[in-house]
Amino acid sequence: MNRPLRSGIIGAAVLALSALATPTVAGAAPANPTVSPSTTAGSAAPTILARGDIVFLGGDPWHPSGPLEVKVVNEGATAAKGFFVLRLPQDADLTAGGDCRAGDGAPRTWVCGGAELPAGGDRTYRMTVTSSAAQPVFGVTEWGSVAGQDATGRADRPTDFRINWPDRTTLRLRATAGPVVDGAATIRVLVTNTGTFDIGGYSLNVATPDGVRVTAPGCSDSGRMNGVGCEILRERRLADGATDSFDVRMAATGGTKNVRLWLAPTNRYTNPDTSVTLRLTGGGSGGGGVATTAPPADPTTPATTAPATPAVEATELPRTGTTTIVYGLIGVSLLALGGGLLLLRRRLQRG
């Protein structure tokens, strides 16, 4: 009787110890950012709602930006102030609009809006979202969220909106160098968007050796070239199939120089023809420079000088002077003369 009871007590103790020793596994973090609502069970449903539209980032490829529109609706029966809580992912930041102030405690969280909305009324807020990633990002999608909130701090559940970074694409570079005259040269640049969609901007980098510097257009002050050249920002929309053409003016002294140009950011472009190396020959102050040789059809191939074509050998001319034929004619003439004299002598003897 005591043995089964003793066994049951020992078994229960073992099960209890096992339960205490088993670690608790934490649940997976949510994939999309959310803002915890301030509503509690049994409270009235929120009447201020907010919805955010999709964001497309573009422009400066290092820090692309794009518009965000948030619509705030008052679904209540009376007028009320309509706020919304905005939260952005780690690589995005809010730079303008929305009448926003930083949220309390939560990173990359803002409380925005606050306009008086009539019953059933709405208002749309327009803001600017900018990429805050340290390096250029392409082909990435992340999520932000918005949640309506009234003047008492009661908020609706957050709803997500998508943020699209620019996609990778193809962009082709062509360039030709003009003559160096009085220490100055002009490079004609052609950049063609060979992709399937518009782009909002790009950079042309120019590596300048000693004795060469870019005088126009102005170089950016981003510091990305680390003092070895010039970064020219082209912050303009370039449609697919369109070509952006402009001149880069340079001061060149000290003889032959090689200047390299390439499109940036380099990790955006999937095609190889994004770099060109040109040769600037001559230059110097106080005299005209020597015109540079035009680059080949594909500027990425170094220009080469064609080998000189050997002169065709001239046709052999007839020989001049005394020849065997001439000597033969003289001999025949002498024989004829001797024969004539012999015949004349015989006639004289007969007579």
Same domain? 227 vs 249: yes
Task: Answer whether residue 339 is part of any domain.
Answer: no
pLDDT score recorded for residue 282: 66
Same domain? 132 vs 184: no
Cα–Cα nearest to 249, from 232, 266, 233: 232
Question: SS3 of 276, please?
Answer: strand
Task: Answer whether residue 304 is part of any domain.
Answer: no
Task: Tell me how far the alpha carbon of residue 256 is from its chain's centroid.
Answer: 29
Question: SS3 of 205, please?
Answer: strand
pLDDT score recorded for residue 188: 98
- Residue at which a domain ends, from 261, 280, 299: 280
Task: Answer whether residue 178 is part of any domain.
Answer: yes
The CA distance from 278 to 260, in Å, is 6
Task: Answer whether residue 254 is part of any domain.
Answer: yes
pLDDT score recorded for residue 5: 39
Cα–Cα nearest to 234, from 220, 222, 223, 221: 220
Same domain? 176 vs 142: no
Same domain? 116 vs 156: yes
What pTM did the predictor assign? 0.64
Measured CA to CA in angstroms, residue 180 lies from 87, 183, 185 at distances of 56, 6, 5
Task: Answer whether residue 41 is part of any domain.
Answer: no
Give the number of domains in the chain: 2
- For tokens 């004829």, what's the residue? 336
Same domain? 71 vs 89: yes
pLDDT score recorded for residue 123: 97
> For the chain, which ranges sit under pLDDT 50?
1-42, 283-327, 351
212 strand-pairing partners: 252
